[in-house]
Amino acid sequence: MQRLDAARLGDLLAGDLRAFGGPSTVEPLAGRIRAEQVSIVLRNTPLVMLANILNAAVFVMALWGSPEQTEAILWASGIIVAAAVVGLKARSSFQSVKPRSVSRRTTQNLVRNAFLFGTWWGALPVLFFGGAASAVQVVITCLSAGMIAGGAASFSTIPIAAVAYTLPIFVGSMLAIARVEDAVNLPVAILIMSYATTLFRAVLAHAFEFTQRFILQAEGERAIRRDVLTSLPNRFSFNERLENAIANATQFDQKFALLLFNINNFKNVNDRFGRAMADAVLVEVAARIRKATRESDCIARLEGAEFAIIASRDCRPDQIRSLAKQITDAMPAPFLIEGRELYCKASVGIAFAPSDGSDANQLLRCVDTALYRATTLGAGPIQFFRATDDEAAVRRHALERDLASALANNQLSLAFQPFLDLGSDRIRGFEALLRWRHPTLGAIQPSEFIPIAEDIGLIHDIGHWAIKSACLAAAQWPCDLRVAVNLSVVQLKNKALLDGILTALSDAGLEPKRLEVEVTESVLISNFEDAIALLQSLSFLSVTVALDDFGTGYSSLTYLRKLPLSRLKIDRSFVQDMLTDLDCAAIVRSLVALAHELRIDVTAEGVETLEQLEYLRRVRCDEAQGYLIGKPVPIDDIPALLRGRLVRNDALE
């Protein structure tokens, strides 16, 4: 009970209005309200302290030459010194940056100081009223009434402070009046009591209104700064917090970490399953991030599936890496949405302030560069910003600029890698692979420039050129050879793709059955229904369909059942390890058997040794592709390759 009473007293002295029937608040909103209340008091304090000094001087003048002159000077000196000190401190505090939140102890100290000042003024009528002349009594009464009014106005937003200041003056005035036997004092006492009661009610009403208005304003600001879907702070709030973190780091010589977190395949989820399920995934992602992070970390959702975290505590690189790993490790578990299991992968970019950036724009650019490396270059899902990343950003910008003219300037070409039929040891076709030789940077890897082409919208023109060139090349080969081209996720969304393929076949005079399109599972996840429609249309026209990188995704069996597949390609990761890893060997055998049961041919990728080739023959794989069979070659080398000058069948026996 005593502990409960002490807590209630602490709340009361901290400005809690519930004791007066006012609205209740919880931290941290209460801290923000206290900050505003204290700010208003500090703004008024220099003027109030000046009034204290002038009133004390008036009192000394009223008693000048009287027997109580010395006592009046001593009493006034205490007020004048204290008021001067408090006024100067308040002026200095008010001119500094206003804190966003104020502790309970700050308000309690303010209430204490108000009580001390009120007690000093309350002593005035007790000490001097009884023996004073009528004129001096009038002065003391006016001064006491004025201080009550001034105190109530100064502390109008903090009723308990107003009570602490005015109550001692009121009590002192009433005691002084009661000690003097004069009929006029009774109506004076009644007047003072009515005056004090009216003032206190006005203070309460003003404080209630102030607090309620602040609560409504805070709720409005919270709505503006809150992401509606995940209830996390939004970009607007994040920008504010980032600026505050940078200011604190600069002022107090601190550092903090900024983590930029992205769901890599979220767009695929959104395109395939729709907005409602994608939103449900985001809500679950936000919940997992909250669970994986610390209470001190500031989390925000920026846009789409991009989240940011400001970590200002325990921000050594190893600790931040551990934090990032907790986040990435929380994502692979399936998201159970409307009875479906959805899978997501995450990447995190990390930068530190002020070492990587001393302002918001620079820091965001650094962390975005680190995230890009984590997402696109296969360096790992967690990447710290490095000084060399600036060079990578410059290189990407140059590639974006130059890729637009690469096609027109004949910098793009096709290389052709053969497929070997394991039954007849004959080449059955070639995969057309896109190449870019930059005039100054040299050969640019497809893994680097194709994502750029997708991002800037050039993939449609480049893809159409690649299909057309592949068809023209295949038209010059023997009629039993096919050509395979890869389709990206962005190309599959282009409604003109089907017409472009038909036009390329027609212009080249190539039979549709000699064209094969390769798609990956990631392509299908992003646009499954539209992909099925397009691939079925191509299959109806006798264009064959191959599923590339088979076995690396989550839904391979679904694709085997629903898609018009003629071929699947076993991913090179299984082929390269199948002779040393029993699990990989079992997977290869099972995939070949399963595909054959479904009347689908199988091509094994990444074949580099004769031992691998012999194993694939034993498990009745249909075709092989890899450096052992042949590296990608220019179109001019294909006739020699077919004649056996570059690859001899006896080398493969």
CATH number at residue 467: 3.20.20.450
User: 28: cis peptide before it, omega within 30°?
Assistant: yes
Mean pLDDT over 415-443 rounds to: 92
Q: Which of 224, 257, 290 is the last residue of a domain?
A: 224
Establish if 398 belongs to a structural domain.
no
At 185 the pLDDT is 58
The confidence score (pLDDT) of residue 634 equals 93
Task: Domain of residue 420: give its range.
Answer: 410-652
Give residue 4's pLDDT: 42
Tell me: do 212 and 240 sit in the same domain.
Answer: no
Angle ∠(133,119,147) on CA atoms, nearest 5: 65
Count: domains in the chain: 3
More reliable by pLDDT, 566 or 218 = 566
181 and 37 within one domain: yes
| For range 21-34, the mean pLDDT | 64
Residue 2 has pLDDT above 60, yes or no: no
Q: Are residue 106 and residue 188 in the same domain, yes or no?
A: yes
Residue 553 has pLDDT above 90, yes or no: no
Domain boundary (198, 224, 250) is at 224
Q: Check if the beta carbon of residue 564 is closer than 8 Å to that of residue 599.
A: no
> Does residue 60 lie in a domain region?
yes
CA distance 590 to 596: 10
- Confidence check: pLDDT of 631 > 60: yes
- Determine the pLDDT at residue 645: 41
Bond from prior residue into 354 cis (ω within 30 degrees of 0): yes
Better pLDDT: 549 or 538:
538
- Statement to judge: residues 429 and 340 lie in one domain: no
| Whether 535 and 628 share a structural domain | yes
More confidently predicted of 19 and 491: 491
Identify the band that residue 506 occupies on the pLDDT scale cut at 50, 70 and 90.
very high
Q: What is the pLDDT averaged over residues 270-276?
A: 78
Least confident of 312-321, 495-504, 538-547, 603-612: 312-321
Same domain (yes/no): 168, 37: yes
Is residue 400 one of the residues assigned to a domain? no
**pLDDT score of 485 more than 80:** yes
Kindly state the percentage of the chain with pLDDT values over 90. Answer: 21
C-alpha span between 597 and 529 (Å, rounded): 25
Cα gap 496→504, rounded to integer Å: 12
Residue 641 is assigned to a structural domain of this protein = yes
Residue 373 lies in a domain: yes
Does the pLDDT value for residue 278 go beyond 80? yes
17-28 burial string, b = 16+ CB within 10 Å, else e?
beeeebeebeee
Q: What is the pLDDT of residue 648?
A: 47
Confidence of residue 552 (pLDDT cuts 50, 70, 90): low
Return d(Cα 338, Cα 279) in angstroms, integer. 12
Are 331 and 242 members of one domain?
yes
Q: For 601-623, what is the mean pLDDT?
A: 94
Question: Lowest mean pLDDT: which of 12-16, 162-166, 378-382?
Answer: 12-16
Q: Is 521 a residue whose pLDDT tops 80?
A: no
Give the pLDDT band of residue 10 (cuts 50, 70, 90): low
Among 27, 19, 15, which residue's Cα sits nearest to residue 211?
15
Q: Are residues 199 and 105 in the same domain?
A: yes
Q: How confident is the model at residue 189 (pLDDT cuts 50, 70, 90)?
A: low
Place 22 in a pLDDT band, splitting at 50, 70 and 90. Answer: low
- The answer on 383 and 453 residing in a single domain is no
Lowest mean pLDDT across 186-200, 382-396, 420-434, 490-504: 186-200
Q: Can you give the pLDDT at residue 131?
A: 76
The predicted pLDDT at position 411 comes to 92
Task: Kindly indicate the confidence band of residue 651, based on its pLDDT and cuts at 50, 70 and 90.
Answer: very low
Name the domain boundary from 195, 224, 253.
224
329 and 431 inside one domain:
no
Residue type present at position 340: R
**pLDDT of 41:** 80
404 belongs to a structural domain: no
Q: Are strands 426-438 and 412-421 parallel, antiparallel or unpaired?
A: antiparallel
In this prediction, residue 95 has a pLDDT band, given cuts at 50, 70 and 90, of low
Q: Does any domain span residue 354?
A: yes
CATH code where residue 239 lies:
3.30.70.270
User: How far apart are the C-alpha atoms of 302 and 593, rounded to whole Å?
Assistant: 47
Flag whether 503 is in a domain: yes
Which of 201-210, 356-365, 412-421, 557-566 is modeled with the greatest confidence? 412-421
| Domain co-membership, 218 together with 240 | no
Those residues with Cβ within 8 angstroms of residue 522's Cβ, 6 or more apart along the chain or in another chain = 265, 268, 489, 553
Mean pLDDT confidence for 423-429:
91
pLDDT at res. 237: 85
User: What average pLDDT score do residues 367-384 get?
Assistant: 79
- Asked whether residue 239 falls in the same domain as residue 219, the answer is no
Kindly report the pTM of this predicted structure.
Answer: 0.51
Quote the CA–CA distance of 601 and 567 in Å, as a whole number. Answer: 5
Mean pLDDT of the residues in the chain: 82
